[in-house]
Structure 1
Amino acid sequence: MSDAASQPTVRRPHRPVIVGIVPGQSARVLREAAQYARLHGAALLITHVDVTRFVSYEDPDGYVHTAPINLDAIPSEALETQLRHEAARSLSGVDIAWQLEMLAGDPALAMKDLAERTDARLIVVGTRKRGIGESIREFFTGSVAARLAHRQPRPVLVVPIGKPVQDDEDPWPARQPWPEELWPGG
């Protein structure tokens, strides 16, 4: 695939397959999404939702202005470059048109909105890494995949990352005691 095909364009693709990514994510998620995009004859719209930013306002032409939650935060250009390189590496040898779009806010709501705007065919996300920290976060915020499945009409494909948990295996074997300041006496 040429670099020109991976550069962002002014217009979003119509009826794409949308895939949500995070830095360092397994290449399997992007490759599965690309396979479904090829099956549908669709473009691949790769998205990353920056949860450290929020949408401040949107221009009439659709340009979205965001602001950081933390005013001391560094700009996300380095993150966008990193994600673009990871996507190019993951999709190396895969003949599919793709572009990267950076979003801000709540991941499920941002991808839902993007899917509505582009009339997406499918939304693809990866599972989270196993661990107590991820379990706590999911308990409070809910799974992005589950929230997408309940809040919009498109199919959601969840790609497992890593080794699956066996039926008789504890999904969080590395449980660590709560820090004393969070749970006194815990």
Structure 2
Amino acid sequence: MTDHTPSRPGGYARVILVGVEGGRPDAVLLSAAELARDLGCELVCAHVDLGRYTVEERPDGSVHSLPIDPDLPELDEEGFDPALAAEIERVLGPTGVRWSVRSLAGEPARALGHLANTLNARMIIVGTHEAGLRRGMREFFRSSVAVHLAHRQHRPVLVIPLSPVTDDSALPWE
């Protein structure tokens, strides 16, 4: 991971925020890195833990959080998942792009939107749902982080297709 010291006192000069999840295809990170390099921006990789809630926000936009169910032993640890950090390092290390990680908690679109405001991010990048998931249209739009982001804040949202379908294939919500 590269140094994540603010580029100027009190904040980050030029940031692109990307939502990350473990075990997802590399396409989102690689596309985000290419765009960050082209625009001369730092890439901030944020993971939102749905099983936690925010107790306190730190100056860098990361959060101190607690598990929603404190009896679940696997949720006792706070901080960025080391396995996910290693996955990000594997993908972004060779790109030469300056990057850092942030741990967030709660509802993904709200958490990512808030962090984007805190960092004054130029844009937010997320990936699509896998094409193999078959849900109704209403469920697709209700659960789409990109749709929620596009309606809850003012900055651009770039959606990277993870499994594009051909013209004659059913869409994920069909």
The TM-score, its normalising length taken from structure 1, stands at 0.77
2:129–2:172 CA contact under 8 A, matched in 1: no
Residue 165, structure 1, aligned to residue 165, structure 2: yes
1:39 deviation in Å?
1.4
Q: Aligned pairs, how many?
A: 169
Letter in 2 for 1:95: G
The TM-score, its normalising length taken from structure 2, stands at 0.82
Letter in 2 for 1:108: A
1:133 deviation in Å?
6.5
Letter in 2 for 1:30: L
Unaligned runs of 5+ in 1: 176-186
1:65 deviation in Å?
3.0
- C-alpha separation between the residues in 1 aligned to 2:62 and 2:103? 12
2:50–2:107 CA contact under 8 A, matched in 1: yes
- C-alpha separation between the residues in 1 aligned to 2:59 and 2:42? 25
- Match of 2:64, SS state, is strand
Letter in 2 for 1:103: L
Partner of 1:37: 36
> C-alpha root-mean-square deviation of aligned residues, in Å?
3.1
In terms of mean alpha carbon deviation, does 8-17 or 67-76 score higher? 8-17
Partner of 1:104: 105
Partner of 1:88: 89
1:72 deviation in Å?
2.3
Partner of 2:147: 146
Letter in 1 for 2:85: R
Larger Rg, first or second structure (1 or 2): 1
1:128–1:134 CA contact under 8 A, matched in 2: no
- C-alpha separation between the residues in 2 aligned to 1:146 and 1:158? 10
